[in-house]
Structure 1
Amino acid sequence: MPLPKGACRHHSRQERFMARVLAAVLAGGLCTVVPALPAFAQDTETTESQAPALLIADNVFVDGEDTLVATGNVEALQGDYRLTATKITYDRVGNLLTIDGPIRVEDPENGVLILADQAEVDQGFMNGLIRGARMVIDQQLQLAAVEARRVDGRYTQLSRVSVSSCQVCGANEVPLWQIRASRVIHDQQERQLYLDDAQVRLLDVPVFWLPRLRLPDPTLDRARGFLFPTFTSSTLLGFGVKVPYFIPIGDSQDVTLAPHLTTKSKSLEARYRRAFRYGKLTMTGAISGDDFRDDGLRGYLFAEGTFRLPRNYTLKFTTQSVSDPAYLNDYNITSADRLVNTLEVGRVARDRRISFGLESYYTLRDYEENATQPGVIATFHTDRRFLWDRVPGEFRLAAEATGLQRDSTLDVDGPDADAEVDGRDSWRLSVEGSWQNRWTFGPGLRLGAAGNLFLDHYVTDQDAAVPNQISRATPGAAVELRWPLMRVEADGARSLLEPVAQIGWVGGSRGLNANEESTRVEFDEANLLSLSRYPAADRREHGTTYAAGLRWLHEARAGWTAALTLGRIWQDDIDPAFSRSSGLDSLESDWLIAGRFTNPMGMTLAARGLLDEQNRFTKAEARAGWSNARMDLGASYVLLTIDPDEGRNRATSEWTFDSRYEVTRNWETTTEIRYDLVDRRLDRVGLGLQYRNECIQVGLGATRTFASSTNLEPSTDIDLTVALSGFGVDGSAKEYRRTCR
């Protein structure tokens, strides 16, 4: 037993033996005072085989033959455990430890700190009485009691207790909230707190009382019980409250049930999650009954999952269903106006890719009929590349098959708003073989060449204007030239300027097959140098096209980067399948302009648009943002011109603003604003305010959605959430703890 410098070292043999026994007893006690471990064995050899214990004191002496006393700065250590006191008396006959305080027991591994004035405990700290006890769990939850009893090395029973996670600085200051209880039992094995006669107080004012209350301690991540409620107010649903109840099922799955009662409806929301060894599954849903619609019980069910299959395959699926088209909007679940069910199995390797998918759509739009929408879509895609040492270039072989089925049996366009033939079913099989290679010559010029052969077979049913079967073989070739010019400046900044040009040719002419997959065309940087700008193979560009562009990139030593891309396409003949807003409906395409900018201060800017001959944008989008530790600001802009070919009879032009600002360390605000420039009115406004400190989190949110062509009823929704921090289900709030002066 080491002693401090200057302490008496002339102990008798009996004192040395008793000191070893006391150190062993304290070692066993430190192992069981917080974690429930086996009690200390009397055998000294068994104790010494465990982690070594250390007892330090100013004075150690034997009182009689069976009592050992350690006084003056007593400190007992074993591993990370530490006990400090002013005096420890050990009675070997009664196996009783009397500890005089102030007492401090630290258990860093389990995040528990115990402070006390005086304690009487048996060997191993399995049972005993602690007076003036204060327990701090995970540096968050504080339990102050008149006395505490230790029972069976597992339970700590506290009497006349105050429970809070609020910081109290002054002698007369009261916590923001506290729970007063006549008795609290802490089960350290289950990590639960059981409170009797619990009284919840705000600023020391009683607000409500519960005869029994169970709460998880802060070290428990998944605890069965009620979560903090959310108070809601809606112009459609009225005033209500939502009280979630969390049910863990083992270590890998759980269920959350959330009754939502309002003045006009009653709902039960549910979420099920399960983690598998090779995947995960999440299901959400709700059942509701209300008095503003005569549809009886209403509800929805969504599910999604991802699983790893043998041979590196991955399975992904989503499923969505709803009782009626208005339910999701009425209960503010999602703004989606179409539901989708998907199933995809695929694998990606270094030189090959394969995927198979099924999709099913269900429309919620009142001007669309589900019988005329693509009910089931099946897709299959595979491609592989080949590299041979004796043959230059790279060969690729790809195959794709798609099938689409509608419930309608009409072979012409019906009275609905859809311009497609109501009952058309179609299938397509496409095979593509290609070769490409690149060379470098002269002053860094890069020359590329590619050759393609497309084989397509189309089958169409229930369309009076389209042949039943069409087979086509289409050749294609392209030559491109790049000249990347790089400059490195004296300060380390780098700039890249790369002009590009391409001549492409695709043989044949447009077939009579229906356009099912290429009704929306996006002309952007990704397909500037491409033989076809159509998204799928049921449409191909034919004839000769010329493309030219310029790419510029700069990386400054100060950390900011900027990039700009310009491009344009020239065609021998106008392709009538290109819509007005595609930017490709004339011999000379619109100018493609795209740029981005970032800097170390957190500012980002990205924009893309198509500029026509009259210097007007036919399609544009932009996003600007600024982020730092206290603030996130964002603004987005979208412009889509009128285009009947894409089902857009009115232009779309709107701004969206969103922000998060940390006003102080504890206060935070959020905003969301969407403004329709065409109608010159607000479309949606959302405001949020959150206060958070070490012991409470209050969130208030308000959203106003105005009437529009897709939302006929304006609505206002208000949510209020109050959560007490310091419990396992609510997470840590230690970073918000105040410092007392």
Structure 2
Amino acid sequence: MAATRRRAAIAAALMVGLMSSTALAQQQPTPPSSGAAAAPAPTQAAPPQAAPKKDQPPVLLEADQVDTDNELGITTATGNVQLSQGGHVVLADTISYSERSNVITASGHVVMIQPDGEVMFGDYAELTEDQKQAFVDQSRMLLQDNSRLAGYQAERIDGRYTRVTRGTYSPCKLCEDDPTRPPTWQIRAKQVTHDNTSHDIYFRDATIEVAGVPITYLPAFSMPDPTVDRRSGFLTPTIGYNTNLGMFARVKYYYDISPDKDLLFDLLPSANDGLLLGTKYRQRFTNGYLELQGAATYTQNPQASSTGTISPTELRGWVQGIGRFDIDDSWRWGFDLNRVTDNNFLLRYNYSAEQLLTSRLYTEHFAGRDYFNAGIYGFQDLRPSNTLEEPVALPLITYSALGEPGDTLGGRWSFDAQYLDLWREQGVRSRRASQVAGWQGDYTNSLGMVTTVNALLRTDAYAIGNLKDAANGGPRDDFTRFRVFPQGQIMTRLPFVREDGTVSEMIEPIVAFTAAPNYHNSRDLPNEDSEDIEFDSTNLFRLSRYPGVDLLDGGQRVTYGVRAGVYGNGGGSSTLFFGQSYRLQHNTDFAVNSGLYSRQSDYVGRLELTPSPWMDVSYGFRLDPTSGAQRMHDFTGSFGPSIFRVSGSYLYINKLELQNGTTADTTANLQEVSGGVTSSFLKYYTVGLSTRYNLAEGGGPVSTSLTTTYQDDCYTFSLIMERDYAQRVGLASGNRIYFRMIFNKLGTFVSPAFTGTSH
């Protein structure tokens, strides 16, 4: 019989929606219970009006052939049947409609597409005209996030619930070579129910399997469906044991207050420290955002004293906050709050490894190339070796402006101003007002020689209080100082470039002359920002080699160097820089071993090799100009393809001896080495080994770790073994072994850690 196309008005639809989330949900309305699911007989469906309701959208039926049995009241469509109504689409080999029972029956390669994008497949389906009742045999579903849910049978109940019997859920892709193999992980359940109103998915008698192997059984649990972005509920808990806390559990509850704000509760009961309470609050505004976080516990706080280690019981805690708020298009204000009661709190309770905490309250203004900032700053140093009182900046005001290129004598002007008031309860009170007016011009001649001219005028005014007298150690009277410091520099570089096949070769000599008054820094002025001098290739040509502004780099000097490089068309490159400076006067302001103490500076250089993706090397060095002795080595590198890649680093800096015999920050040379090996020996497997060792006098091993990871599109498993050799009062170092599993769409599980002290 020749195929014909006809259209007929038939009510149709079916839909199914289901799960996806990363957190377990809270109790939700309980779906109707049921025993073994059975296909509802067509006679059980309450027959509605035979004619479609006026408020229902029109129905479109397309098929190769449509036959009607007027005596039985059954219309049958066969061959490439497509039934659509209001975004609902049913595809099948055969679809029949009974006018007496108002039941639609579909068979053969049944596909039902919902308006939200979810798709259900089956061998046979029955659904009522009002779309509230449906049955699908051998159901398979593709959810909005491409997760899959398959089951023996699926039922649609009252237009709200979809219940799957003997269901299997997984967000993982099936193996292309063998689709019958179990996915990386899946959930098998006796019954899976989707509540389309509350957008929850319920599992009953569920087993979580990894690679087809059951790993845990849950009698009942629920999770939000893929339409839910976030939902109140308990996050995956952590249970473990370590030397510091003993046996502990960490429970987090997420509370979704509204679309613009949420709250996280963090409870950590432990055998050694009792109960820790933490919270985190976040909120978005039309003009900014706010984050507040904190934790507190009342427990012992081990700390060093003159008589040994004491452990008073006291309130220990931490608070952190971030706020950013726009005032208008060019002004905004904000704050950062980060304070803790003791040095070990953040590490002990696994909040942060930060060693220097900064708090500030500020406002700032943006206008073209101009910038203004005014703020109050506070600092907290958690390093146990630091006993100095940290100052508070009350306030720090900064202004910066930059002119248009070429507007002023062929160059551009700049202006920077700053006011800083450092307050200490017992130490030096320092106030500084500074301004720097500068100009820079770049000129290129016909030979390709590039000349850069810099000129600046710096003025500083200091007001100093509570400074100790160097002679008797007593306090000095408050005093003021004013200084004017002009400085200029002419730098010329001439790059020579040659093309050689697929590579470009470049060699560039550089010469600069820097001139300023032969200024000697006064010991009356406190040095707040220039104690740590790191002289290397990055600051060789800078006007000031000091990191801050309290010390001035005066006198006249000639700086020279050469840069060479080879650059491949495929992206690989190798570069080398080597240089030195020569000062016309002797300046004893620099530390003896800083590399700048003598008129002839140390040689500095850097070699960078990146010929291909399998090699990346950076080596910086500083050598004594007379003896060639090592002053600084800084090496980092990685070698090899992803199947076996070796990385390492080495750092050596000799100690800084100041002219008066004291030392800055360190009393011994810094010397440290670290190395690691990673291997992606199979498609989804990676192994990594790393170690860190302090080579300085009195040093030793610092840390070692071994990590084995499996990671695919929907599951990550990591086995971590760590050893920490650090000695801290109140914190035990030692070994730790644990594993972590990340289930895509479900959550993260961290195993209890097996620990043991190393000393």
CA separation of 1:268 and 1:658: change in aligned 2, threshold 3 A? farther
Q: Does the CA contact (< 8 Å) of 1:236 and 1:715 recur in 2?
A: no
Which residue identity lines up with residue 287 of structure 1 in the other structure? A
- Match of residue 427 from structure 1: 431
Two-structure CA RMSD over aligned residues (Å)? 3.7
- Match of residue 233 from structure 2: 225
Q: Does the CA contact (< 8 Å) of 2:679 and 2:688 recur in 1?
A: yes
| Matching residue within 235, 250, 260 for 1:252 | 260
CA separation of 1:345 and 1:524: change in aligned 2, threshold 3 A? farther
1:675 aligned onto 2:687 = no
Q: Does the CA contact (< 8 Å) of 2:244 and 2:732 recur in 1?
A: no
CA separation of 1:44 and 1:712: change in aligned 2, threshold 3 A? closer
Distance in 2, matches of 1:288 and 1:568, equals: 56
How far is the alpha carbon of 1:587 from its aligned partner? 1.0
- Match of residue 482 from structure 2: 471
1:624 aligned onto 2:619 = no
Distance in 2, matches of 1:40 and 1:254, equals: 49
Q: Does the CA contact (< 8 Å) of 1:619 and 1:640 recur in 2?
A: yes
Distance in 2, matches of 1:485 and 1:223, equals: 63
Distance in 2, matches of 1:178 and 1:260, equals: 30
Find the residue that maps to 2:663 and give its secondary structure. helix
Q: Does the CA contact (< 8 Å) of 2:98 and 2:104 recur in 1?
A: yes
CA separation of 1:463 and 1:41: change in aligned 2, threshold 3 A? farther
Which residue identity lines up with residue 576 of structure 2 in the other structure? L
Structure 2 gaps, min length 5 = 19-48, 303-310, 470-475, 657-661, 750-759
**What's the TM-score once normalised by structure 1's chain length?**
0.82
Which residue identity lines up with residue 617 of structure 1 in the other structure? Q
Distance in 2, matches of 1:40 and 1:403, equals: 85
- Match of residue 107 from structure 2: 100
> How many residue pairs align between the two structures?
689
1:336 aligned onto 2:354 = yes
1:384 aligned onto 2:397 = no
Distance in 1, matches of 2:213 and 2:722, equals: 34
Which residue identity lines up with residue 568 of structure 1 in the other structure? Q
- Match of residue 21 from structure 1: 9
CA separation of 1:93 and 1:600: change in aligned 2, threshold 3 A? farther
- Match of residue 3 from structure 2: 8
CA separation of 1:564 and 1:55: change in aligned 2, threshold 3 A? same
Distance in 1, matches of 2:729 and 2:669, equals: 15
Distance in 2, matches of 1:632 and 1:277, equals: 47
How far is the alpha carbon of 1:244 from its aligned partner? 3.4
Q: Does the CA contact (< 8 Å) of 1:620 and 1:640 recur in 2?
A: yes
CA separation of 1:646 and 1:570: change in aligned 2, threshold 3 A? same
1:499 aligned onto 2:509 = yes
- Match of residue 69 from structure 1: 76
Alignment deviations for residues 593-636 of structure 1 (CA, whole Å, 9 cap, x no partner) = 12322244253222323221332332332221358666765322
Greater displacement, 154-163 / 496-505:
154-163
- Match of residue 286 from structure 1: 295
1:128 aligned onto 2:116 = no
Find the residue that maps to 1:256 and give its secondary structure. strand
- Match of residue 485 from structure 1: 496
- Match of residue 29 from structure 2: none
Distance in 1, matches of 2:284 and 2:149, equals: 35
Alignment deviations for residues 675-712 of structure 1 (CA, whole Å, 9 cap, x no partner) = 11225632101222233456654332222111458998
How far is the alpha carbon of 1:437 from its aligned partner? 2.6
More helix by share: 1
- Match of residue 193 from structure 1: 201
Distance in 2, matches of 1:325 and 1:560, equals: 45
Structure 1 gaps, min length 5 = 1-5, 409-422, 732-741
Alignment deviations for residues 197-251 of structure 1 (CA, whole Å, 9 cap, x no partner) = 55667767695443x4211235544233333344444232234443433333333
Distance in 2, matches of 1:661 and 1:106, equals: 44
1:662 aligned onto 2:676 = no
How far is the alpha carbon of 1:560 from its aligned partner? 0.6
Distance in 2, matches of 1:276 and 1:632, equals: 46
| Matching residue within 300, 320, 345 for 2:318 | 300
Residue pairs, 1:203-282, within 5 angstroms: 207-210=216-219, 212-218=220-226, 220-265=228-273, 266-282=275-291
CA separation of 1:646 and 1:335: change in aligned 2, threshold 3 A? farther
Q: Does the CA contact (< 8 Å) of 1:436 and 1:448 recur in 2?
A: yes
Q: Does the CA contact (< 8 Å) of 2:66 and 2:75 recur in 1?
A: no
| Matching residue within 625, 631, 639 for 2:652 | 639
Find the residue that maps to 1:328 and give its secondary structure. helix
Distance in 2, matches of 1:313 and 1:627, equals: 49
How far is the alpha carbon of 1:348 from its aligned partner? 5.2
1:320 aligned onto 2:338 = yes
1:684 aligned onto 2:708 = no
**What's the TM-score once normalised by structure 2's chain length?**
0.80
CA separation of 1:500 and 1:681: change in aligned 2, threshold 3 A? same
Distance in 1, matches of 2:693 and 2:50, equals: 71
- Match of residue 554 from structure 2: 542
Distance in 2, matches of 1:716 and 1:305, equals: 38
- Match of residue 159 from structure 2: 153
Q: Does the CA contact (< 8 Å) of 1:235 and 1:717 recur in 2?
A: no
CA separation of 1:344 and 1:598: change in aligned 2, threshold 3 A? farther
Distance in 2, matches of 1:623 and 1:424, equals: 40
Find the residue that maps to 1:329 and give its secondary structure. helix
Distance in 1, matches of 2:430 and 2:682, equals: 60
Q: Does the CA contact (< 8 Å) of 1:233 and 1:718 recur in 2?
A: no
